[in-house]
Amino acid sequence: MHGAMGGGSAAARLGTAARRARADPRRRSTSAWLDRQFARLAVLPTTVLMLLVFGVPLLFSLYLSFEGWSPEQSLFSGRFVGTDNYQDLLSDHAFLGSVAITFGYTAITVASELLVGLGLALLLDIDLPWISLFRTVLILPMMITPVVAAFCWKLLLDPDHGIVNYLIGSNVIWLGRPDTALLSVAVVNLWQNAPYVAILLLAGLRSLPSEPIEAAAIDGASRLQMFWHITLPLLRPYIVVALLLRTIFEFRAFDNIYVMTNGGPANSTMVLSMFTYLTSFVDFDLSMGAAASWAMLLMSMALCGLFIAVIRRREPL
Amino acid sequence: MVALNRRRLLQASIAAGGVLAAPQIKAQSKPEKLVYVGDNGPWHWVMVEEVAPAFEKATGIKIDFTLLPVDPWRARLRTELGAGSAGIDIVQFSVGMAGWIAPHMEDHEKLLPALESHGPDFNWNDFLAGTKKAATYDGKLTGIPYRITTGILHYQKALLEQAGVKPPGTWPEFLKAALAVNTPPQRYAFGIFGLQGAGMFVGWNSWHYSNGGRLLDFKTGEVFINDDKGVEALTFYAELNTKYKVVPPEAMTWAFDDIVAGGQSDRYAMVQMFAPYGTLINDPKISKTGGKWAWTTVPGPTSPDQGVTWIDGHNLGVPKYSKNKEWALEFIRMACGTQWQKRAMVRGNAPPLSSVLGDPAMIEQIGWPPVAAKALETGIPTPANPVWDTLEMQLRSALSQALFGQKTPKQALDDVAADWHRSLRRAGIGRG
Amino acid sequence: MSAPSRVGSRRSRLVFAGGVYLALIALTVVFLFPLVWIVGLSLKTRLQIFTMPPLLVWRPTLENYAGVVHSADFVQAFTNSLLVSSGAVLLSMIVGVPAAYAIARFPFRGRSLLFFGLLAMRMLPAIAVLVPMYVLFSKIGLTTTRLSVILAYTTFSLPLVVWIMRGFFEDLPRELEESAWVDGASRYAAFVRVVLPLIRPGLVAACILCLQLAWNDFLFAAVLTNNATRTLPVLMAAFSSGDTGVEWGGMTASGVLVILPVIIFSFAAQRHLVAGLSSGAVKG
């Protein structure tokens, strides 16, 4: 890595200072002990913080999901109800519907983001003048605050005054019909996140070895053949990572839906995050919200686990 | 108007007796601003543009208005009041919310003397009895009524006359009128609250009540919404969109602002909605259809007398946790007083004050008050039970699905009944 | 790696290049048009906005921006966003960078457990941790404070920092620290004086990405703040979810002002951004 020179001289300077310090017997034992504990001390703050903001809330949420509890009560004075909350959840057709919608939504958005992202990455990988300009410009959508992007798109999709309807010449009520609402939200997501996938895959493309391609070129392979038989297989690890990351993020999509449709129309965009939010903070049924959160958690962990298992099986490591 | 005098205010508060503990009064310094959290319905203009500046001029305190759409408004009040936070000084809440909000609010019965001590502008006797009752939950007066609403039928007189139909008093007459005045795509017959949101309930429930339908019994936990009457009412309502297509397509995105805008831009000939919205669509200064509207009570299935509607409204109150209660109360007194309410009525409010609603000059100018008064006689108030908000949300999705034809009315209402049973059980109401 | 220029005849190469540029331009137009249009709306008066057919050429006005900048609410929310984002980044960096180093370099007991925990943290849906967090914070009186938001943000910024920095640390050759240790330097000293300076690009990347995530967050801030402490996304959502009304000029102007800082910042450090995104990603 660059900076090796600087590192070397810094190390040398350190060494001299340390040798002088070693002369002091008292310092040797404590500092030696501290030194051995370095790794543990280095991770201590992280562990504590993790427990504080992640471990404790999650465990409390698990506890809450087995209680009948309302906010007027103090923390642990709920009534133990066993699996009632979960049973109520599973018998709520709105919840079941939102599970289906979430999986469907995740599938559509991840697949489309991957395809478009891959296309973008391939184009941006080509060595032509001014490619870097395109690269700079095309990552813009992913930096925009999702809430802002969502309401901007809401204006663009406005049936009467939006530019989209003007351009296509017909008066579609994008966010007002069950069939088009989910699609509209998915498209906005695609717009925001395809560049993210493109960056990941572009990094992958740039790190691939060039010999196989060059050899294939000499053998007279077409671009399409080279792509399909060489590039794509070599790119697989990166595609898998992109797939995994996007699945995680799309599964818990919230901002877009909150701003654009709030779960409607006719519950057609009621993804799990939206359902849990409405249950917890509008209905204020926090124990049900806790149960829904845990259901969501388990589902996303299962999804990721499934992913990783499938990958492991197909790749002989 | 009586000039605000701090000493007089302090005296009145002390006289009100111990609610605002004496040490607190001396220590309470004047805040820079008061935080008001309410919804963003189209009737706040006078409060925001006229009362608040007048209040600021008299006291030097700004009002920080946070006006949110219905769900975020509820979530905000729930989370902040639920945590006992002092960040809200004036709570605006609807009649249906009184149940869950009551524990967080001051007992305004004890504050009435302070409110009335400033002179005749605030006269508790002038407030409609029904609204006082609606603002009371579990024996506690949770706030001061600011707005009363009820559902009436608004129609463009000339359009019906031209089509040769009379203002409908029964459902068959209504359907006939709708089909006669439906001229898509320029103008449709009937506007509705199509957005899956808080407007769904008030859009449909007049039809439901008029058909003799009931929601539920909060004491026994019995649910009636999916009985025959309910299914009939939802079938009639949904078919207006799915079968007869007399509803503008964009109405499916309409919440409160939009339905008014639709009327102002002549997108529909008839609508069933809040009575005071009639002011907004009939004002020539802001509406294309200004001056063209007339009003009647909602039609009944076979006879006009069967028409029954809902009664709703909004209250203003001071939460227990606020650190600026005196000042908040002072603003509420101003806003709910007769003088400002008269002004508000002209700009779209419906004050629950009999002197204002019954004022002949007002009636002449505004038009709908007598119809609203008639509707209020038989109207059914929105339930105030704490679990009602949850039930209403579950009803919304069913209504939306029926309107889109995704479920049959019977399926939709059966699902609602199942949801309601579950929610009632969770809330500990009735048998499990 | 890209297909070398030896593929095909000169003519077919030109056609190929032409095709690529065409595709890129088309994509750029599609991706950027919405943004450009929105910026355009922010520079129009209300009358100009609602003119049909839409105006493509008009005299731009800054009145919307002036309105936003003078709005006390916006300025306050901007300050809050700044405080909360920097707080979260600072906390996560201070806590996470040493941990990433330890995970990358030293096999210690519980290392994989810790890493797995951080992974789980990264994968969890925000709402799942927000619900109990709200309850716990409200009981100890932390809700509506900025501190609660900063703590909440560490749920996603801490794993991100560790994730990214671990990649950078693993890339760093061990020889440099090892020579410092051999010469008797403590591990702490070696870390601070030898390793950190070399890893600066990674630090920058991690900072930028965390800043971006924190600045853009909505859900946590929406539940954990009130009027005085709300961040920009919360303010934005307050007047734009629900019906859009007619205030398009004001809405788009405030939107542009909200996204501008992150965009400027990200562009300035673009190289690091890309490095950071790809670093943590692959060595997962």
Q: What is the mean pLDDT of residues A82-89?
A: 89
C20 and C103, same domain (yes or no): no
Q: Tell me the sheet residues that pair with B312.
A: B149
Within a domain: C284: no
Residue C283: pLDDT over 50: no
Residue C269: pLDDT over 80: no
Q: Are B127 and B145 in contact (CB under 8 A)?
A: yes
Tallying the residues shown for chain B, one arrives at 432
Q: What is the CATH number of the domain that holds C243?
A: 1.10.3720.10
Q: Which residues of B273-309 are buried (b: 16+ CB within 10 A; e: fewer)?
A: bbbbbbbbbbbeeebebeebbbbbbbbbbeebebbbb
Round the CA-based radius of gyration of chain B to a whole number and report it: 22
Residues of A in contact with C38 (CB under 8 A): 152, 155-156
DSSP single-letter state for residue B35: E
| Sequence-separated (6 or more) residues with CB below 8 Å from residue C210 | C88, C89, C92, C93, C157, C160, C161
DSSP single-letter state for residue B20: S
As a whole number of angstroms, the distance between CA B52 and CA B59 comes to 10
Task: Give Cα separations from B267 to B261, B288, B329, B391, C273 (angstroms).
Answer: 9, 10, 41, 31, 51
Cross-chain residue pair C99–A242, CB shorter than 8 Å: no
| Sequence-separated (6 or more) residues with CB below 8 Å from residue C264 | none
> Which long-range contacts link C101-104 to residues 24+ away (Cβ below 8 Å)?
C101/A42, C101/C165, C101/C169, C101/C191, C101/C195, C102/A38, C102/A39, C102/A40, C102/A42, C102/A43, C103/A43, C103/C162, C103/C166, C104/C165, C104/C166, C104/C169, C104/C170
Q: Which of C16, C33, C63 is the last residue of a domain?
A: C63
Collapsing DSSP to helix, strand or coil, B379 comes out as: coil
pTM of the model: 0.88
Check if CATH label 1.10.3720.10 holds for domain A87-313.
yes
C24 and C42, same domain (yes or no): yes
pLDDT at B23: 34
Cross-chain residue pair B257–C141, CB shorter than 8 Å: no
- Using the Cβ of B250 and the Cβ atoms of chain A, whether some distance falls under 8 Å is answered with yes
Residue A91: pLDDT over 80: yes
Q: State the first-to-last Cα distance of chain A, in angstroms, to the nearest integer.
A: 28
Q: What is the pLDDT of residues A258-285, one digit of tens each?
A: 989 888 788 999 999 999 999 999 988 8
DSSP single-letter state for residue B97: G
Structure-model confidence comparison of residues C60 and C187, the more confident one: C60
Sign of CA dihedral B253, B254, B256, B258: positive
Structure-model confidence comparison of residues A213 and B117, the more confident one: B117
Structural domain harbouring C18: 3-63
Q: Which residues of B94-122 are buried (b: 16+ CB within 10 A; e: fewer)?
A: bbbbbbbbbebbbebeebeebbbbbeebb
Residue A123: pLDDT over 60: yes
Cross-chain residue pair C144–B255, CB shorter than 8 Å: no
Task: Name the minimum distance, in Å, from the CA of B161 to any CA of chain A.
Answer: 30
Locus of tokens 């994968």? C123
Task: Name the minimum distance, in Å, from the CA of A194 to any CA of chain C.
Answer: 10
Residue A3: pLDDT over 60: no
C23 and C114, same domain (yes or no): no
pLDDT at B29: 79
Which band of pLDDT confidence, cut at 50, 70 and 90, is reported for residue C8? low
Cross-chain residue pair B255–C243, CB shorter than 8 Å: yes
The values of phi and psi at residue B274, to 5°, are -50, 135
Within a domain: C229: yes
As a whole number of angstroms, the distance between CA B348 and CA B42 comes to 8
Structure-model confidence comparison of residues A27 and A60, the more confident one: A60
Residue C160: pLDDT over 50: yes
- Using the Cβ of B404 and the Cβ atoms of chain A, whether some distance falls under 8 Å is answered with yes
- Using the Cβ of C140 and the Cβ atoms of chain A, whether some distance falls under 8 Å is answered with no
Q: Nearest-CA residue of chain B relative to C238? A: B68
Cross-chain residue pair B249–A94, CB shorter than 8 Å: no
> How much helix, strand and coil, in percent to the nearest 5, is found in chain A?
75, 0, 20
Identify the CA nearest to B58 among candidates B333, B348, B380: B333
Say which of A127, A143, A208 has its CB closest to residue C263: A143
C253 and C202, same domain (yes or no): yes
Which band of pLDDT confidence, cut at 50, 70 and 90, is reported for residue C134? very high
Structure-model confidence comparison of residues A310 and C233, the more confident one: C233
Say which of A11, A124, A244 has its CB closest to residue C179: A11
Tallying the residues shown for chain C, one arrives at 284
Percent of chain C with pLDDT over 90: 39
Identify the CA nearest to A3 among candidates A11, C279, C274: A11
Angle at C87 between CA C82 and CA C89, to 5 degrees: 100
* ipTM of this predicted structure: 0.87
pLDDT at C176: 83
Structure-model confidence comparison of residues C247 and A17, the more confident one: C247
Tokens linked to C220 = 């946590």
Q: Are A119 and C8 in contact (CB under 8 A)?
A: no
As a whole number of angstroms, the distance between CA B151 and CA B124 comes to 25
Cross-chain residue pair C242–B79, CB shorter than 8 Å: no
Q: Are B429 and B221 in contact (CB under 8 A)?
A: yes
Structure-model confidence comparison of residues C6 and B199, the more confident one: B199
* Average pLDDT of chain A, as a whole number: 85
- Using the Cβ of C263 and the Cβ atoms of chain A, whether some distance falls under 8 Å is answered with yes
C122 and C191, same domain (yes or no): yes
Domain regions of chain A by residue span: 1-27, 37-82, 87-313
Q: Which of C63, C89, C114 is the last residue of a domain?
A: C63
Q: Are C156 and C126 in contact (CB under 8 A)?
A: yes
C86 and C195, same domain (yes or no): yes
**What is the DSSP pairing of strand B144-156 with strand B310-317?**
antiparallel
- Number of other CB atoms surrounding residue B219 within 10 Å: 9
DSSP single-letter state for residue B111: H
- Number of other CB atoms surrounding residue A310 within 10 Å: 11
As a whole number of angstroms, the distance between CA B78 and CA B68 comes to 13
Touching subunits of A (3+ CB pairs, under 8 Å) are B, C
C154 and C258, same domain (yes or no): yes
Q: Are B187 and B269 in contact (CB under 8 A)?
A: yes
- Using the Cβ of A215 and the Cβ atoms of chain C, whether some distance falls under 8 Å is answered with no
Q: What is the pLDDT of residues C107-124, one digit of tens each?
A: 888 888 888 888 888 888
Q: Are A283 and A259 in contact (CB under 8 A)?
A: no
Q: How many domains does chain C have?
A: 2
Type and span of the H or E element at A30:
helix A25-36
pLDDT at B13: 45
Within a domain: C283: no
The values of phi and psi at residue B86, to 5°, are -90, 15
Task: Name the minimum distance, in Å, from the CA of B345 to any CA of chain A.
Answer: 31
In order, the DSSP letters of A231-250 are IHHHHHHHHHHHHHHHHHHH
Structure-model confidence comparison of residues A127 and B107, the more confident one: B107
pLDDT at A317: 44
C37 and C15, same domain (yes or no): yes
Q: What is the dihedral of CA A254, A255, A258, A259, to 10 degrees?
A: -160
Q: Nearest-CA residue of chain C relative to B87? A: C226
Q: State the first-to-last Cα distance of chain C, in angstroms, to the nearest integer.
A: 22
C150 and C239, same domain (yes or no): yes
pLDDT at C231: 94
pLDDT at B370: 92
C21 and C100, same domain (yes or no): no
Round the CA-based radius of gyration of chain A to a whole number and report it: 26
pLDDT at B15: 45
The values of phi and psi at residue A63, to 5°, are -60, -45
Say which of C141, C223, C238 has its CB closest to residue B68: C238
Residues of A in contact with C128 (CB under 8 A): 58, 61, 276, 293-294, 296-297
Within a domain: C102: yes
Collapsing DSSP to helix, strand or coil, C242 comes out as: coil
| HEC secondary structure over B206-259 | HHHHHCCCCCECCCCCCECCCCHHHHHHHHHHHHHHHCCCCCCHHHHHCCHHHH
pLDDT at C241: 57
Identify the CA nearest to C280 among candidates C156, C182, C176: C156
C79 and C216, same domain (yes or no): yes
Structure-model confidence comparison of residues C238 and C42, the more confident one: C42
Q: Which residues of A187-208 are buried (b: 16+ CB within 10 A; e: fewer)?
A: bbbbbbbbbbbbbbbbbbbeeb
Locus of tokens 């608040």? B52
Q: Are A239 and A118 in contact (CB under 8 A)?
A: yes
Q: Which of C63, C78, C95 is the last residue of a domain?
A: C63
C44 and C113, same domain (yes or no): no
Largest pairwise CA distance in chain B = 70
Tokens linked to C112 = 């994989």
Sign of CA dihedral C57, C58, C61, C65: negative
Residue A289: pLDDT over 70: yes
**What is the DSSP pairing of strand B62-68 with strand B33-39?**
parallel
Type and span of the H or E element at A59:
helix A56-65
Cross-chain residue pair A297–C126, CB shorter than 8 Å: no
Flag residues of chain B having pLDDT under 70.
1-28, 431-432
Residue A212: pLDDT over 70: yes
Q: What is the pLDDT of residues A95-111, one digit of tens each?
A: 999 999 999 999 999 99
C12: buried, middle or exposed (CB in 10 Å: 19+, 13-18, 0-12)? exposed
As a whole number of angstroms, the distance between CA C83 and CA C117 comes to 28
Q: Are A249 and A162 in contact (CB under 8 A)?
A: no
Residue C71: pLDDT over 70: yes
As a whole number of angstroms, the distance between CA C22 and CA C18 comes to 6
Cross-chain residue pair A71–B393, CB shorter than 8 Å: no
